[in-house]
Structure 1
Amino acid sequence: MMAAIDFVKEQLRIRAFDGVLTERLVQDPAAHGLGRLPHAFKPDATVHSVCGYCATGCSLKVHLKSGHAVNLSTHTDYPVNLGMACPKGWEALTPLAASDRATIPLLRGRNDELEPVSWGDAMDAFCGRFKSIQEEHGQASVAFLSTGQIVTEEMAFLGSLAKFGMGVVHGDGNTRQCMATAATAYKQSFGYDAPPYTYQDFEESDVLIFVGANPCIAHPIMWQRVMRNQREPEVIVVDPRKTETAMAATQHLAIQPKSDLALFYGLAAHLVQMDAVDQDFINAHTEGYQAFVDFLKDYSLETATAATGLDYAQVSQLARLIASGKRVSFWWTMGVNQSYEGTRLAQSLINLALMTGNIGKPGTGANSITGQCNAMGSRLFSNTTGLLGGRNFESEQDRNAVADILSIPVAKIPDQPSLAYNEIIDAIEAGTIKGLWLIATNTAHSWINQKRFRRVREKLDFLVVQDMSYSTESAEIADLVLPAAGWGEKEGVFINSERRIGLTRKVSQAPGEALSDFNIFRLIAHHWGCAELFEEWTSPEAVFRILTRLSQGMPCDITGIQGYADLERAGGIQWPYQRPEGGARLQTQRRLFEDGKFYRPNGRAKFYFEAPRAMPEPVNEAYPFILLTGRGTSSQWHTQTRTGKSDVLKKLYPKNPYVEINPVDAQALQIRPNSKVCIRSRRGEVEATAVILASVQVGQVFMPMHYRITNQLTASVFDPYSKQPSYKACAVTIHNI
């Protein structure tokens, strides 16, 4: 194999945006992630870079020696993590040297094996196959599924390239699996996808209510911010399982699975009866309250206790805490979002915050904690189911605005939103989508009812996987694998849970011929023949400046950020940010709605509500247990494409899949600790090690989502508004092997 530089020189002789050969790209391997590090870094520099795992958005110090990243430490001055890091952060560099890195394009050959090919051949296959599919089956016959893991500039480039350049109608992101419910709830209630809080609220709240959230494990640094709270707060955890967070809380409400909505409607009804609402705030800043009060007439603390299995005293105490007049904050993650009625459940928490005036003030808020490092970037700028900057494809005004900003023909912009993730899978099964492009996501592992996706894959004519590893479950079944750079091998921005835009830096070379996603998209634009649309998209920072223009006049307006240097100086900047007149100092912690003005046309937040629905797959004699899924440990991440490459992290969690079962159930079924058991649902059966723990209730079992077998059991059930999968509860049976 020729050296990487010679390879690039031979293969990337393609037309530049202005019609001449890309001599600059060919001569500058750093532009492809193949050569030297950015010129600004000295060989022995210390580089600040935002972590690429979860949406906490910690800043790490990466230490270079002779131009190589050798280790890292924490950034004590960064307003997010204040010098802290979780196990994943400490091991962030390790996956870059993994033995299964994708280093050259792989194309499935006549012998049905993936074989190395040049980038030129890979581009010919990519463009040729997808174009032929579109010619035979129509423009909408090709789709893409992106991620919350790549930088915002790459997300915007991908969505714009696919939608405006390649004519791809349908594309969604794996943020549909984690944050679609929160985004939908905020859009409906507030008029925009706008998490209102800042991390300082963890430290300034008197009552913190965590619903379906386990920050001890999922967001350890956020939990440390809770532990820094000097107000002697009440910490309440609402969760069927006694999680690590529940163990540390002042009160754990161990509800029955999917009874949350009845609980929060009962609490709201009781607050109305107690006259413990902020009527002035309601009158001035909301609409739909009276209809909500009328709806609540069928609810009470009694109905809440009956539905949840909780004691009346527990629910009554929670009602008193919410009514206390103190600073109350509501926090949720996947236990709420990944539900068949998740949007209304999230809005039941929003309603409680609105009716008590607990929003827009320190230590308050209806606060969705984001999962992936750049899910917020995906929600605003991926150009998938929403147009760039939080706009709508259906709006002629929005399409014209984007066309003007990008200097492209408005006819290039679709006038309809994309199908959602689950609808794309349905369309593949129906035979209307024949080509699929996966970018930095591992659908064959993570998608609900996993075996169905593997069956559906057989209906595709061409599957492309673009990722940093060739060994993912999705890459193994691909027709073409495009090798991509990972975190630390490229630069751009992430947007974290509190809306903070933080900079991640290139500190290492990508292996072999792997390219950054950004430059893969540039190659595709050239070979597809649409490069003229992206003449200005020359670098990640150039695209970031385009995004600031796209944000102008929107709730996420960041026109005050002039470039990466601003972000580095400020320690990240929360949106919105318009540069203040007179050089006023930028506050490092800012929350939304301090003025009581929301983003709906009339400036008011709206109460949304709907009667609870029965669980789609209840237990019965054949399947007597409810399976709960979630994060296992703080050292595991999603499908373990990266955390599984660290020997340090692997020592911190069980190697093999396990299932937690209550001692009462274990005794009844004669299941011994550490014995092998079979867990079966209507979709399949898997084998795991039994762990006997009282942290799960009788009639329930728990499995971490990180193991490749877990989603063979989960059911294809979705929220009707957010289209998010309901991973958290399905019926199973369990027995000894």
Structure 2
Amino acid sequence: MIHQFLKQHSGPLTRELVQEPGNFGLGNVPSRLKPTSTTTSICGYCATGCQLKIHRDQGGNAINLTPQSKYPVNLGMACPKGWQALDVLHSEDRATTPLLRNANGDLCEISWEIALSEFTQRLKSIQRKHGNESVAFLSTGQISFEEMAFLGCLFKFGMGFIHGDANTRQCMATAVTAYKQSFGFDAPPGCYADFEESDVIVLIGSNLCIAHPILWQRVMRNKRNPDIIVIDPRSTETAQAATKHIQLKPKGDLALLHALAHCILRDERIDKDSISATEGINEYREFVRAYAPEKVSAKTGLENEQIESLARLVSEPGKRVSWWWTMGVNQSYEGVRTAQAIINLCLITGNIGKPGTGPNSITGQCNAMGSRLFSNTTSLVGGHDFQNPEHRRKVAHGLGIPEDSITAQASMAYDEILAAAEEGKIKGLWIVATNPFHSWIDSGRLARLREKLDFLVVQDMYRTTESAQVADLILPAAAWGEKDGCFINSERRIGTIKAVHQAPGMALSDFRIFRLIAHAWGCGDLFSKWTDPESAFHLLRDLTKDRPCDITGIRSYQQIDDAGGIQWPYPKDSLEQEQERRLFADRKYYTSSGKAKLLFSSPAENPEPIDADYPFQLLTGRGTSSQWHTQTRTAKSAILKKLYPTEAYVEIHPKDAARLGIEDLQQITITSRRGSIVAQAYIAPTVQSGQLFIPMHYPQVNTLTHSSFDPYSRQPNYKLCAVTIRI
């Protein structure tokens, strides 16, 4: 039965079956993708969402690429990762066939038929024995949102399990929660064009030059001679290029933002019309009275006049002020309230809904916004709520599934899933296109919990990731460039990705793998309309009707390409010529009252302060613009590897190095209460005395980090822990 379905629906399953021209491991390729000289695709790395022009040979295979000159995101620019996006498809360690661990502990090649049989039989056995909460998935921000939705719907509506989360929990959960609580929906309000239209640009916890270099280029295009303010403990590349660097103490950001609000409200440098569209202003005024600049100097490390001057700058009447944040805010034990402190400043000064303004989060992964709306993890697919019975009915009707297959029970978050695995409650784990055995906080915990799992499945394009190496079953997946679908970037712009390369061996797109699993599980009929990514797109599009993320005006992938990407919302009555859609220009929000909420609380205590045994504060973050996450892909490019240090390094202040007798490039050991890492000393005043910085990309770094989480978003606190140095 499975074998027959494989023959009919899966596309090529062996090298011999992929010879049909134009068949890139996805079944029949739509006519618009028949071999031509060029096509376009959104880059598969960060959430900037650059469009690349891909040049193809007569067989339809990609041979080169260039940035697309007219695309409204990157305007003809690409970072080093984008230029080398095709290189990583040819790596020798690609997963090309399913692999199953045998009784001797070796991973052995098997057929898809055996792989599907093992997958279904072993997970069903766990389900029968331990129940629907005994298996979970951990997903990604790297696959198309059609694939994300398919995974979430298959797992929860078809297979009957409850718990799944995406690794956007490591990236954007803070911003999602902050927007939902403040605005009533996860709705980043601004556009990238605001970088070019601001009079004041505030970057907080964001090394834009490195993490999002194309967006820094947008800043450089600004002709309004803007003040560029960087708020960051570290003297990053962005801070060094800014007009002003506010070098505060680590995690002094929330106290600083409260102090800015104190000064602005004290001096009545406010926008009364904007405030009239908010709730909580009287309570907020009273709260920030306690945050005079002199009261927060110990927490921030800043002088009174620095704070007063910054408060005047970000509230000057008539000036357009935009605020932008990334992981320095999000990856924190108090990230949600910090993000909301930024939102509050925009609301009280009227810097929202207009060109050059806004509280704007910059997403990390290429499709994190797609995950936020369509992964079916914390939110019901299409921007709905699992606990709302009307939403469950709407989604069930729209997808043609029984209403009782959609449970109101909330999924556990990423950290809760792993804790349940440690406790022996989660017995089966399915990891899709992510690498938590490297990337998760205090990563040594995963090695320990692995022994508690009865069955670990890893679905990935590489067989050599830290997660794949400990799997029981590896499912070989096609990569970016080998499949169709859509990404959504940080400014809510939907763009298409294209199949321009043949997936190696028996690797299949994640979409096709989910179709095969649905059939093998016995729930294939529920997903009979999910024949290909664009068909799934139409189903998902229709579900968004009357939601803030309504995209019912989009007719096809081709329309998205022709429009230069389309920002949501885009309901049926949208004007074709509108290329940018800022939110809240009408001061109407998605809350029940229609007003934004001013939310706030006092700064929390650092969950792991320094002491005599661990006297240094460790900061982590991006290393160079040529590195990406766990280097699963960038390490496969010979050119990219030449652009960043091969071995881990640690930035240390010259005073600390001199005091400890450390020389430049000397090997030193950094130790936390959880583990140690050996790194080369890089002596530079980029960090303040008493602080260290290590790029997050190296395998051992997360053995150091501390398992603490924001109480509202459950996002990990990657940015701050206590360490010591051993020579």
Question: Is TM (by shorter chain) over 0.5?
Answer: yes
Tell me the amino acid that sits aligned with residue 14 of structure 1: F
In the aligned structure 1, how far is the partner of 2:314 from the partner of 2:259? 13
1:37/1:508 contact within 8 Å kept = no
Q: CA deviation at 1:301?
A: 1.5
**1:228 paired residue number:** 221
Query: In the alignment, which residue of structure 2 is the partner of 1:493?
Result: 486
Partner of 1:5: none
Give deviations 1:150-172, integer Å, cap 9, x for gaps.
00100000000000000110000
RMSD: 1.6
CA deviations on 1:499-534 (whole Å, 9 max, x unpaired) are: 000001000000000000000000000000000100
Pick from 530, 555, 559: which aligns with 2:548? 555
Does the Cα contact within 8 Å between 2:149 and 2:376 map onto a contact in 1?
A: yes
Match 1:350 to one of 325, 343, 351: 343
TM superposition shift of 1:585: 3.5
Look up the equivalent residue of 1:431 and give its one-letter code.
Answer: G
1:234 maps to amino acid: D
Amino acid of the structure 2 residue aligned with 1:102: A
Shift of 1:329: 0.8
1:360 to 345, 353, 359: 353
Equivalence map 1:485-524=2 (5 Å): 485-524=478-517
Match of 2:284 among 276, 280, 292: 292
1:697 alignment partner, one of 671, 688, 698:
688
The answer for the alignment partner of 2:105 in structure 1 is: 112
1:299 partner amino acid? Y
1:66 aligns with 2:66: no
Distance 1:154 1:36, change over 3 A: closer
1:579 aligns with 2:572: yes
Please give the alpha-carbon distance, in whole angstroms, between the structure 1 residues aligned to 2:366 and 2:708: 26
Q: Does residue 676 of structure 1 match 2:667?
A: yes
Q: AA paired with 2:272?
A: Q
**One-letter amino acid of the counterpart of residue 399, structure 2:** L
- Matching residue within 33, 46, 49 for 1:54: 46
1:591-632 CA-to-partner distances (Å, cap 9, x unmatched) read: 111111111011100000001111110000000000000000
- Deviation of 1:189 (Å): 0.1
Cα distance between partner residues in 2 of 1:561 and 1:641: 34
How many Å separate the matches in 1 of 2:27 and 2:550? 35
Shift of 1:11: 7.2
What is the TM-score normalised by the length of structure 1? 0.96
Change (3 A) 1:100 1:311: same
CA displacement at 1:14 relative to structure 2: 1.9
Of the three residues 161, 169, 179, the one matched with 2:172 is 179
Give, in whole Å, the separation in 1 of the partners of 2:113 and 2:125. Answer: 18
Alpha-carbon separation, structure 2, partners of 1:517 and 1:41: 19
Decide which moves more: 381-390 or 723-732.
381-390
Instruction: Evaluate the alpha carbon distance shift between residue 423 and residue 23 of structure 1 in structure 2; reply closer, same or farther with a 3 A threshold.
Output: closer
SS at match of 1:298: coil
Alignment of 1:301-312 (within 5 A): 301-312=293-304
The answer on whether the counterparts of 1:151 and 1:374 sit within 8 Å (CA) in structure 2 is yes
Q: What does 1:644-663 align with in structure 2 at a 5 Å threshold?
A: 644-663=635-654
Give the aligned partner of residue 269 of structure 1: 262
| Distance apart, 1:483 and its partner CA | 0.2
Distance 2:3 2:172 in 1: 38
Shift of 1:312: 2.1
Aligned mates of 1:311, 1:210 — CA distance in 2: 20
Q: 1:373 aligns with which of 361, 366, 374?
A: 366
Whole-angstrom distance in 1 between the partners of 2:23 and 2:285: 59
Identical-residue share of aligned pairs (%)? 59
Structure 2 unaligned residues grouped into runs of 5+: none
Determine the structure 2 residue equivalent to 1:594. Answer: 585
Aligned mates of 1:659, 1:712 — CA distance in 2: 15
2:427 equivalent among 408, 418, 434: 434
Counterpart AA for 1:482: L
Is 2:414 aligned against 1:421?
yes
Distance (Å, rounded) in 2 between the aligned partners of 1:313 and 1:295: 21
Which of 92, 102, 106 is the aligned partner of 2:95? 102
Contact 2:333 2:709 in 1 (8 A): yes
Match of 1:604 among 579, 595, 599: 595
TM-superposed deviation, 1:548: 0.7
Distance in 2 (alpha carbons) for counterparts of 1:446 and 1:597? 39
* Worse-matched range after superposition: 293-302 or 168-177: 293-302
Contact 1:339 1:719 in 2 (8 A): yes
Q: More deviation in 97-106 or 23-32?
A: 23-32
Cα separation, partners in 2 of 1:56 and 1:454, compared to 1, 3 Å: same
Deviates more, 1:393-402 or 1:32-41: 32-41
- The answer to which of 613-622 and 315-324 deviates more is 315-324
Q: Deviations over 1:29-76 (max 9, x none)?
A: 767717886543454520111100000000000000122211001111
Does the alignment pair 1:616 with 2:613? no
Q: Using the alignment, how far apart are the partners of 1:515 and 1:504 within structure 2?
A: 16
Note if contact 2:24-2:482 (Cα within 8 Å) is conserved in structure 1: no
Given that 1:199 and 1:589 are in contact with CA atoms closer than 8 Å, whether structure 2 keeps it comes out as no
Q: Distance in 1 between matches of 2:463 and 2:10?
A: 30
Partner residue, 2:457: 464
1:149 paired with 2:142, answer yes
Distance (Å, rounded) in 2 between the aligned partners of 1:717 and 1:24: 44
Deviation at 1:587, TM superposition (A): 1.4
CA distance in 1, matches of 2:3, 2:344: 55
CA contact (8 A) 1:263 1:304 kept: yes
2:702 is matched with which residue? 711
Paired with 1:119 and 1:416, the residues of 2 have a C-alpha distance of: 33
Output the CA distance in 2 between the equivalents of 1:165 and 1:377: 21
Q: Contact (CA 8 Å) 2:333, 2:717: kept in 1 or not?
A: yes
Answer whether contact 1:34 1:512 (CA < 8 A) is retained: no
Task: Name the TM-score, length of structure 2 as normaliser.
Answer: 0.97
Cα shift at 1:580 = 2.8
Partner of 1:6: none
